Amino acid sequence: MSKPYDYLIVGSGLFGAVFAHEAKKKGKRCLIIDKRNHSGGNIYCENVEGINVHKYGAHIFHTNDKTIWDYVNSFVEFNRYTNSPLAIFENEMYNLPFNMNTFYQLWKVKTPDEVKAVIQAQIAESGITNPQNLEEQAISLVGTDIYYKLIKGYTEKQWGRDAKDLPAFIIKRLPVRFTYDNNYFNDKYQGIPIGGYNKLTEGLLEGIDIKLNVDYFANRAEWDAQADKIVFTGKIDEFYDYRFGQLQYRSLKFEHQTKDTDNYQGNAVVNYTERHIPYTRIIEHKHFEFGTQSKTVITKEYPEEWNTEKEPYYPINDAHNTEIYKKYEALAKADSHIVFGGRLAEYKYYDMHQVIGSALKKSQSI
């Protein structure tokens, strides 16, 4: 007996939405289910006071891949937003990424040679030749001033651990620019969808059946019976009933506030790098789209330990979790009727353009 759909897609985030769109173009029947009360996954925007609020944290699109840039712009035009975050440490403000503006703010030096001399002197003074942890690794790359003011507290808040207790491999490199350039991403193409990310996901999902407020695992057999194949974008360990153990994540908490002012901080992203300040950054959403509304909305972002009651945002790709994931990955490769995709199903940190690229590649190969 023929099933009503070719694909059941669990999750309406970018991977699921792109896969569904491409499958529909090939004449495939798709049903998407999502446990949230909205589609779009973590790029969903909520309109508050006429401002598109990034409900699950700042999402800034950037890529060097013109094909992917043209793909997303075929659904919604992207603006010219360039990410140029700031960092505050002990009431002093610094430009990010680390560039000549930052170094002038730190040391009042004006030339690349002066900067290199300061950094090399601090590295030499540290005496670190074989870094054993994240702190030593960072100091061996950029010296003590940049580390203690702009890296240490922020990183410890992100991970909920002392930097000396974190492995060195977390920081493989720290980009240092010897130019006066505050553009955070080096990518050729970057911006924000004009009118918000919902326009992108709505375009991708047009004409596709979708059911919200649905927990796949609450009635798994019934949903599986709806389609010939499954595209799964949730946690891969949950899909396999945690048979090899639970994978670990870091979570986030977002505190949204509407402010009765037209401009709260003058920039979309401001990092707070001191450990005793509980949030890592404040986002002011209107600046993503150069808004002129009379009010503004800010979001304080708090890193949190993850448990099953919280949203998993970042995989912890250490040796322990990697070993567990490889066992699940082997099961996934043997399941020919299931497609696993996205950050949770592949237990991998993805930027948005990478998720889209992965979904396009998998859909095309199938």
Which of 34, 184, 281, 347 is labelled catalytic?
Answer: 281
Residue 136 appears among annotated catalytic residues: no
Look-up of token digits 């170094």: 103
Report d(CA 306, CA 296) in Å as an integer.
Answer: 30
d(CA 99, CA 118): 14
Q: Are 12 and 227 in contact (CB under 8 A)?
A: no
Q: Does the active-site annotation cover 281? A: yes
Give yes or no: 250 in active site: yes
Catalytic residue among 34, 238, 289, 301: 301
Instruction: For 333-366, give one letter per residue: b (16+ CB within 10 A) or e.
Output: eeeeebbbbbbbbbbeebbbbbbbbbbbebbeee
C-alpha to C-alpha distances, 172 to 91, 134, 322, nearest whole angstrom: 29, 9, 17
Active site (annotated) includes residue 314 = no
Q: What are phi and psi of 73, to 5 degrees?
A: -75, -10
In the residue annotation, 29 being an active-site residue is answered as no
How many angstroms separate the CA atoms of 65 and 87, rounded? 29
Lateral strand order in the sheet of 30-33 = 209-211, 30-33, 5-10, 227-232, 338-340
**The two structure tokens encoding residue 41:** 């996954």
Residues 6+ apart with CB under 8 A from 204: 17, 18, 20, 21, 75
The secondary structure element, H or E, covering residue 116 is: helix 112-126
Catalytic site includes residue 173: yes
Which member of 173, 222, 243, 309 is catalytic? 173
Query: 3-class DSSP state for residue 305?
Result: strand
* CA dihedral angle for residue 136, residue 140, residue 146, residue 149, rounded to 10 degrees: 10
Of 202, 209, 240, 250, the catalytic one is 250
The residue from 71, 177, 238, 284 that is catalytic is 177
Question: CB neighbours of 64 closer than 8 A, spacing ≥ 6?
Answer: 187, 188, 189
Query: Is 349 a residue of the active site?
Result: yes
CA distance linking residue 127 with residue 218, whole number of Å: 56
**Phi, psi angle pair for 160, to nearest 5°:** 65, 25
Query: Hey, what amino acid is at 315?
Result: P
Active site residues: 173, 177, 250, 281, 301, 349, 351
